[in-house]
A and B are shown apart, each in its own frame.
Chain A
Amino acid sequence: MRQKDPLWQTVDSKTAGSEDKTSKQEKRQVPFLNNQMEQLSDKDLQIAHWVQKMPDLEPPSNLLTSVMQAIQPKKLPWMRRVALWAGSPKSFTFTPMRLAPIAMVLVGILFVSGYWVLRQKDFGFYPKQAESNIPVVFNLNIPEAHAVAVVGTFNGWQPRGYEMQFNPEKQIWSLTVRLPEGRYEYAFLVDGQRVLPDPEASLYQDDGFGNENSVMILRMKNEKTT
């Protein structure tokens, strides 16, 4: 524990001669003060020697026991526990009967994962669903409107996400969406209040409330432009 300073040798050799009166006035350099060129007198060295040799009180005999009884094993972080577990040697014993369920589970996992991989591969030959949809371009010439959206059976008559963009050059509202094959009824929602059918639609259907919805029928390889 103690790193003995070279001072001790200096002091011990000095004091071993016990009270060398002739050198009382001599100054001695102490190692740690060398850099500062400071010196301790003989008296200071004697005092340092006393401090060095000053006896310690013995600690109570039960101090160690009381400390050890008061402390609990440290709860290690789980990562450290895992590292310790993984770093220590382990032995496993098993019988074929115990191994059978594990083997079955492993074979099952292998089968399912293989099937999944093959299935993914099969679907890979076909274009993705979104790509197979038909692009539909909606146009409405109503430049005085502030906001226009398309609503219809394809979006549950909800305008969110189907807002049209105004083209200042052509002075028309426009939106392109991709839809699967099928028959759709739709209309334009102008400024969030007015519902207008598409004036360029070829089919219309009575909505049962005295208005008409536009109708479009989409088939694969036929791009529908309203």
Chain B
Amino acid sequence: MDSSDDQQVISAVMNGNVNAYNILVQQYQKPIFNLMYRITGSYEDAKDLAQETFIKAYEKLDHFRMGARFFPWLYTIGYNHARNFVQRSKPFQQSSDEDFEKNTRLDYPSQQEERVLAQIDFLRIYQALEQLPMDYREAVILHYHEGLSMEDIATALQLSVSGAKMRVHRGIKKLREIILGDDHETERSALADS
């Protein structure tokens, strides 16, 4: 669904067709839920926050500027809502690997070995992402995972475009540092064992 489809759906919702909102929720529930999960580390909290985000967005739909892209706007609402939740209710929670594995349906390489290797890579990247500051992590994910442009990332994270570029660029560098650091640790352990 492209941006113009979003606009049509939003127009229908604004004209009183509440069921049309169903399409937007279906379309964006996965990235919004994953955003909440990354921030809270809790499956239940992520579910509640995702639900509240969509309800909030529905209530604020009158303020949505037609012609703009819906997802960055929705993401801004969700991002702010999740940050408020974390600041208000509890300290930052780290999600557990078990939680990740339990809820992840890896539909990737068919061969078992490749599947395990892929899982290891993804777990490592996921753990590394968790170590990034929140706005760096979200900028990297929005760009490389959600495929958003720098302008849309700037909208979603309420930054300037140059600020968004900086966070994406530095975010990927920091990720590399974290992952390479882990690799070096592993190599050192292996050498010590031998």
Contacts and interface: CB of A to CB of B under 8 A. Distances in A.
A and B associate in one complex: yes
Interface of A: 1-5, 7-8, 32-33, 36, 38, 40-41, 43-44, 47-48, 50-60, 63-64, 66-68, 70-74, 76, 80, 84
Given A59-B30, A68-B25, 15 more contacts: A1-B28, A1-B146, A2-B146, A5-B149, A32-B149, A44-B173, A47-B176, A51-B140, A51-B141, A57-B103, A64-B26, A67-B54, A68-B18, A68-B21, A73-B18
Contacts of A51: 125, 129, 140-141, 144-145, 175
B81 interface: no
B12 to A, nearest CB: 11
Interface string B52-84: 001100100110000000010000000000000
A90 to B, nearest CB: 17
Interface in B112-154: 118, 121-122, 125-126, 129, 140-141, 143-150, 152
A194 B97 CA distance: 103
17 contacts: A2-B146, A3-B152, A7-B144, A47-B172, A48-B172, A51-B175, A53-B122, A55-B108, A55-B122, A56-B34, A57-B30, A64-B22, A68-B18, A68-B25, A72-B18, A76-B14, A76-B15
A175 B145 CA distance: 89
B108 A53 contact: yes
B129 A64 contact: no
Contact of A52 (B13, B144, B168): B144
Interface string B89-125: 0000000000010011111100000000010011001
Nearest to B1: A1
B16 A76 contact: yes
**Interface size class, chain B:** 35 or more
The secondary-structure label for the interface of chain B is: helix
A68 B55 CA distance: 8
Residue among A7, A53, A55, A68 facing the most chain B CB atoms (10 A cut-off): A55
A175 B143 CA distance: 85
Given A5-B147, A51-B145, A58-B105, A67 B125 contact: no
B27 interface: yes
A66 B50 CA distance: 10
Contact of B172 (A44, A58, A76): A44
Contact of A3 (B19, B126, B148, B180): B148
A2 B27 CA distance: 11
A72 B31 CA distance: 24
B172 to A, nearest CB: 5
Contacts of A63: 25, 29, 33, 47, 50-51
B167 interface: no
Contacts of B33: 57, 59-60, 63
Nearest to A76: B16
B50 A59 contact: yes
A180 to B, nearest CB: 61
Contacts of B47: 59-60, 63
Contacts of A36: 165
Given A48-B172, A51-B141, A3 B54 contact: no
